[in-house]
Structure 1
Amino acid sequence: MKETIKQLQDHRTYRHFDEDYQLSDEDLQQILDSARQAPTWMNGQLYSILVIKDQGLREKLVEWNPRNPHMLHSSVFLVFLADLKRTQKVAEQHQVPYHVGESIDPLLVATADAALALQNAVVAVEALGLGSVVVGSIRNNLKEVAELLHLPDYVFPVAGLSIGKPNVEMQVKPRLPEAAVVHYDTYQDYDYQLIEDYDETMRKFGEARETKDWTKKFSDVFSQEPSGQIDAYLKRQGLLK
């Protein structure tokens, strides 16, 4: 099996890092360069990357996300931003209207660009023999995070990435059955038993962090009334009317 394929299929998330390990400037640059070469819509590169080394900033992020102390204890913490501020500057320079916010499409494109850059960073981290964890909870306190990181309008934090040298080994987590995820030519329905089988697979996997079945976790998540926090933030930032 080719090494890159093996690396991708062996992916696992690490949340415990050697606090004495320091990521070298050279390795950090390799990760950033790899992220910046990710595919991007029309070469728009509608994202930015924040490299957060400052311990005070990271302590504040952990205060808002206490279940993710690795944001402080990892070697470096990156935040990937959907960034439509750069193209707003371009519109101003060319003295043309800027209709971002009138459709959700630009935000979806910018979010995809940021996510692709994030994935490239994850692959680069693992190629260097290190570990990482993607942090979606960076979106839990959007107003406060935006103020802390001085985010301008037209910018949205998509996810963070803790990077470091793992000191606790993790196992490769089972994924949903292929038949429930992969379709050929057209979307095809499948037996719901496949999803229930996955609950059983994850019970046997026995990850301590998972306190609910997969089906229960997501039925709980998507049955809650939305807080409206993200919608309010997007409107305030000019990303959504």
Structure 2
Amino acid sequence: MNETIKLMRNHRSVRQFDPEKDVNDTQVETIIKASMAAPNWINGQQVSVIEVREPERKSALAKAAGNQKWIEEAPVFLVFCMDFYRAKLAAERNGNRFRIVENIESIIVGSTDVGIALGSAVIAAESMELGIVPIGGIRRNPQAFVEILNLPEYVYPISGLVIGYPKTIPDQKPRLPLKATHHKEQYDAKVQVEIIHQYDDIISSYMTERTGGQDSSNWSSKVAHFYDSGFEQYEKNASPTIKNQGFRYEG
């Protein structure tokens, strides 16, 4: 196993950061360059990253993301946006209609490109022994991010990434068995129920140990609750803000 694979398989989400250690500009630039070198659709480069360090701005964004204090406590917060503003300028420059934002494909493309770029940034940061945690909570109140970060039309915040030197590193959370997620030739639906039962026991034991017995919840209960009522803020705010930013897809 090479060092890159070891690094990727050793990932932890870090939420406690050393206040005495900063992340310098060269490190952030290196992370962004690695992120932007990642593959993207048609070389359209539909991603922009906003670097936030200013304490008051981080505090406002932390509140908008659901009071996630690690956004404030870490030295750097990166906001990854799907960005079709440059594509709009390209359309104007060449006298073409700008039709992509009228189709759901724009959201799929932009979100996929952000995911690839974010994953590359995670690997780059962890290779420097930095700790990270992605922040999907920015979509709880995306309009606040649009306003605070002065995002133009056709730019929408998809995910954040907190970066800093770890103060503590948590135990690694077990993942689903590969049999559930790696299919050969065709999707195997028959194995899923049994695997979920087994995985629930694994996660329950992990949570019990991690919290000293205060939380013994399992994987399926958390996922089921969130996709029932836990995503109400996202449901309420994400789609209207996307459309306010100029994405006019139907459905």
For the aligned pair, the TM-score class normalised by the smaller chain equals over 0.9
For the pair 1:157 / 2:162, whether they are aligned, the reply is no
Displacement of 1:76 after TM fit? 0.6
String of CA shifts for 1:27-82, please: whole Å, max 9, x gaps: 11111111111111121110100011111110101222354211111121100000
Task: Give me the CA root mean square deviation.
Answer: 1.7
Give, in whole Å, the separation in 1 of the partners of 2:41 and 2:63.
35
Give, in whole Å, the separation in 2 of the partners of 1:105 and 1:210.
40
Tell me whether 130-139 or 169-178 shows the greater mean CA deviation.
169-178
Residue in 2 that maps onto 1:14: 14
Distance 1:210 1:114, change over 3 A: farther
Is the Cα–Cα contact under 8 Å of residues 66 and 140 in structure 2 kept in the other structure? Answer: no
Give, in whole Å, the separation in 2 of the partners of 1:136 and 1:66.
10
Is the Cα–Cα contact under 8 Å of residues 12 and 170 in structure 1 kept in the other structure? Answer: yes
Give, in whole Å, the separation in 2 of the partners of 1:143 and 1:66.
13
Residue in 2 that maps onto 1:201: 202
Amino acid at match of 1:19: P
> Percent identity, aligned pairs only?
31
Give, in whole Å, the separation in 2 of the partners of 1:157 and 1:238.
13
Instruction: In structure 1, list runs of 5 or more residues that go unmatched.
Output: none
Give, in whole Å, the separation in 2 of the partners of 1:26 and 1:101.
35
Residue in 1 that maps onto 2:81: 81
Residue in 1 that maps onto 2:243: 235
Is the Cα–Cα contact under 8 Å of residues 51 and 78 in structure 2 kept in the other structure? Answer: yes
Residue in 1 that maps onto 2:137: 137
Displacement of 1:6 after TM fit? 0.5
TM-score scaled by structure 2? 0.91
Instruction: In structure 2, list runs of 5 or more residues that go unmatched.
Output: none
TM-score scaled by structure 1? 0.94
Is the Cα–Cα contact under 8 Å of residues 77 and 161 in structure 2 kept in the other structure? Answer: yes
SS of structure 2 residue aligned to 1:101:
helix
Residue in 2 that maps onto 1:4: 4
Displacement of 1:240 after TM fit? 3.0
Greater fraction helix:
2
Amino acid at match of 2:219: W
Amino acid at match of 1:218: V
Give, in whole Å, the separation in 1 of the partners of 2:220 and 2:98.
42
Residue in 1 that maps onto 2:226: 221
Residue in 1 that maps onto 2:27: 27
String of CA shifts for 1:177-213, please: whole Å, max 9, x gaps: 1111110111111330210111111111124497732
How many residues align structurally?
Answer: 241
SS of structure 1 residue aligned to 2:17:
coil
Residue in 1 that maps onto 2:46: 46
SS of structure 2 residue aligned to 1:175:
coil
Give, in whole Å, the separation in 2 of the partners of 1:27 and 1:156.
25
Equivalent residues in 2 for 1:52-131 (5 A)?
52-131=52-131
